[in-house]
Amino acid sequence: MNSTQTASADAARRREGGGLSRALNVSAVRRFLHRHPGVARLGVVILIFIVWEIAARTFMDPLFVSPPSRVFTSLGSVWDTSGVPAALRITFFELAVAFAIAVVTGLAAGLAIGLQPFARRSLMPIVLLVYGLPQITILPLFILFFGIGPPSKIAFGVTHGVFPIVITVVAGVQNLKPILLTSARSMGASRWQTFRYVIFPHMIPSFFAGMRLGMSGVLLGVLLAELYVSTAGIGYFTQMFTENFDPTKLFGLIAMLAAMAILLNEIVRRAENHFSRWR
């Protein structure tokens, strides 16, 4: 349906073009955009920024909205605000530690639960139940137990990140064809060999899928805890910029954090693509 529509639209355009070079150019641009949706996507993003720029410069209150050009040029001054580089470093450190702990414990727990049918049947419902609970309600408890420094953020990040990893690892082990295990054992593979050459390679794709979900969980947990209470992390600065009605710096800091999140997500996604290629 669509292709016929575009074909007739093309024909109509050709008819009205009538040899005028301008019209030809327009249709050439259209055809180019049609073949490269990525360019059109970029155009949409640029358009949004232009609208934002014009709106912020004309009728929006400068106490609340800052034009993107000013945000961009002030990135340097955000970086120079004393404490901001350290805050970003702390947040990155919290994310890295939380992610490492979540991956290690998630993998260990996932294997322990997934490799044993009985453990899987009895413990998986508990894991799913806990995963479905709104963890945000116990955030104040984390602060109470672990203090307002980095440990509470790391702990909250771990509890957000570990469950998706456990669940995907268990699912990955579960999807292993029993025939592979049986044939490995009948060919005389030891427990370790079975794990190393059968279970492990089959688990890799789901493990990396779990890492990707775990990374978004860790990001969510750490950022929630940071925004909730913070003495030196980015939560402190977002609150300060908000209270000082300094949208330029607030936008800049959030842009930096978003860039950090995108970068971390992208690394894990690349790793996932890379390691699931062998299939």
Contact positions vs another protein (CB under 8 A)? 1-2, 6, 34, 37, 40-41, 44-45, 64-65, 118, 121-123, 125-126, 132-134, 136-141, 143-145, 216, 219-220, 223-224, 227-228, 238-239, 241-242, 245, 247, 250-251, 254, 257-258, 261-262, 265
Shortest spacing between CB 139 and another protein, in angstroms: 6
| Of 24 and 138, CB closest to another protein | 138
Q: Pull the structure tokens for residue 113.
A: 């639960």
53 Cβ contact list (under 8 Å, min separation 6): 67, 68, 69
Nearer to another protein, 189 or 254 (CB): 254
Tell me how far apart the alpha carbons of residues 147 and 182 are, in angstroms, rounded to a whole number: 50
- At its nearest, how many Å lie between another protein and the CB of residue 196? 29
Which residue type does 98 have? A
Nearest approach, Cβ of residue 187 and another protein (Å): 29
Give the integer Cα–Cα distance in Å for 80 and 100. 30
Beta carbon nearer to another protein, 79 or 245:
245
Instruction: CB nearer to another protein: give 20 or 47.
Output: 47
Half-sphere CA count of 79, side-chain side, radius 13 A: 8
Residue with smaller CB distance to another protein, 100 or 138: 138
13 versus 194: smaller Cβ distance to another protein: 13
Give the Cα separation of 120 and 133 in Å (integer): 20
Closest approach of another protein to the CB of residue 223, in Å: 5
What does the H/E/C string look like for 63-75? CCCCCHHHHHHCH
CB of 45 to another protein, least distance (A): 7
Q: How far is the CB of 183 from another protein (least distance, A)?
A: 25
* Rounded Cα–Cα distance for residues 202 and 238 (Å): 43
- Token code pair at residue 223: 């950022």
Residues 6+ away with beta carbon under 8 Å from 131: 163, 164, 167
